[in-house]
Structure 1
Amino acid sequence: MSLACHKGASRYDLGMTDSNATNSLNDEEIAFLHSIFDLAREGSTEKLMLLIDQGIPADLTDPKGDTLLILAAYNGHNDTVAGLLEQGADINRLNDKDQGALTCAVFRQNEALTRLLLSKGADPHLGAQNAVAVAKMFELPELAAVIEEYL
């Protein structure tokens, strides 16, 4: 099976309507891609790392701009996040809502994951909905203090 992704972005497209487009996907390919994102959501680290070892991009991105890393962080799968970072996932990649993995970790009040991402170089000021702003907006002083430790 060959997968077509946007050039350079590892983003697959579900909404292409141009019949001349060379990178539209068939139903089987779309289902396969959805299953990869489900692995990140579910924290199926071993299976996901195996697919990445076989050539799936660590920065694979869905049509909303969510990366595997963002989905794993949002769902609190610290081991999956660590594995994706080891595989070269971009720690500071933002989705279409201007949110990154660190923003998700802070929003979900996951201190261990927040510390992991900060220790690996996540920028707490990156994006309009950044980790600092989220900690302030949702009145999360414990996580704001964690962020301060890394500034």
Structure 2
Amino acid sequence: MDDEQQRKLRAIVADLAREGNTAELTGFLEHGVPVDERDEAGNSLLMLAAYHGRTETVALLLARGADPDLRNDRDQAPLAGALFKGEDEIVRLLVDAGANPDLGTPTARQTAAMFGRTL
């Protein structure tokens, strides 16, 4: 696969994660797309799904071994993103999967404090 095809594939799977199209994303994963694939800004599929409140997609990615601490190019972690967006169920899934609340900028702990939430 050449660079342009790889770029298009990354964009497609990123959109699927962002939109919560879990069934179609599963097909791509079953055909070899890495569970920790990233978009052009370094956002993992998990980060995109978590930030956009896609609980089912987050659960799928975690079950397939997605790294809950994989940060994007801006040093943001999925846990902090889910806290920022008020996605409590996703926060629970990420914490249960071992997400480290002390990683990223800001950290999940700092994000929780900013919004009066606890981890």
TM norm structure 1: 0.74
Structure 1 equivalent of residue 35 of structure 2: 58
Is 1:119 the counterpart of 2:96 in the alignment? yes
1:15-34 to 2 correspondences below 5 Å: 25-26=3-4, 28-34=5-11
Structure 2 equivalent of residue 101 of structure 1: 78
1:123-149: per-residue Cα shift (whole Å, max 9, x none)?
Answer: 111122111111223xx22x32xx1xx
1:22-60: per-residue Cα shift (whole Å, max 9, x none)?
Answer: xxx12x443332111100000001111111111000000
Which of structures 1 and 2 has the larger relative contact order (alpha carbons within 8 angstroms, sep 6+)? Answer: 2
Quick check: which one's helix share is greater?
2
Matched to 2:46, the amino acid is L
Matched to 2:93, the amino acid is L
Work out which of the two has the higher radius of gyration on C-alpha atoms and give 1 or 2: 1
For structure 2, list consecutive stretches of 5 or more residues without a partner in the other structure: none
For structure 1, list consecutive stretches of 5 or more residues without a partner in the other structure: 4-24
Aligned with 1:135: secondary structure? helix
In angstroms, what is the RMSD of aligned CA positions? Answer: 1.3
Aligned residues: 119
Matched to 1:88, the amino acid is G
Displaced runs of 4 or more, over 4 A: none
Q: CA deviation at 1:109?
A: 0.6
Identity of matched residues, %: 39
Structure 2 equivalent of residue 70 of structure 1: 47
2:87 to 110, 115, 118: 110
